[in-house]
């Protein structure tokens, strides 16, 4: 089956589906400051080039802002959307295996570089 056929079949199969933005995520347990503190304290402090606030600053002032971050995360989950500042990402290609031909696009996979807070929310939901 050609790629265009797969795309057309997928479009046909999902034509009547509702928009993901209309969904609410209301079946999660409350976010606890202790859980968030543990996740932030144990996480890698890599930063995204798009985001001006460096992770080490967040870690250094965490005790002062943790209630605010919990509130933002809770609102994001309960409303089903992220703040605009957390929706930007840098995507770059990475070779799937070192011995693959670098001239073939199919030999690459996308890597997304998210903001530190977006990645933290992702880890919190996963936990």
pLDDT at 97 over 90: yes
Q: Is residue 18 part of a domain?
A: no
Task: Convert the pLDDT of each residue in 19-40 to its tens digit.
Answer: 655 555 566 777 889 988 888 8
The number of folded domains in the chain is 1
Residue 27 lies in a domain: yes
pTM of the predicted model, to two decimals?
Answer: 0.65
Q: What is the model's pLDDT at position 3?
A: 65
Q: Which domain does 50 fall in, by range?
A: 23-87+114-126
Residue 55 lies in a domain: yes
Distance CA 127, CA 39 (A): 9
The values of phi and psi at residue 97, to 5°, are: -140, 145
Which is higher by pLDDT, 116 or 110? Answer: 110
């Amino acid at each position: 089956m050609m790629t265009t056929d797969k795309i057309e079949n997928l479009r046909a199969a999902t034509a009547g589906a509702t928009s993901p933005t209309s969904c609410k995520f209301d079946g999660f347990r409350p976010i606890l400051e202790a859980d968030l503190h543990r996740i932030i304290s144990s996480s890698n402090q890599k930063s995204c080039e798009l985001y001006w606030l460096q992770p080490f600053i967040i870690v250094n002032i965490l005790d002062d802002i943790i209630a605010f971050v919990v509130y933002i995360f809770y609102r994001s989950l309960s409303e089903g959307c992220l703040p605009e500042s957390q929706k930007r990402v840098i995507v770059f290609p990475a070779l799937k295996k070192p011995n693959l031909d670098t001239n073939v696009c199919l030999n690459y996979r996308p890597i997304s570089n998210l903001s530190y807070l977006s990645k933290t929310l992702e880890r919190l939901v996963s936990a």
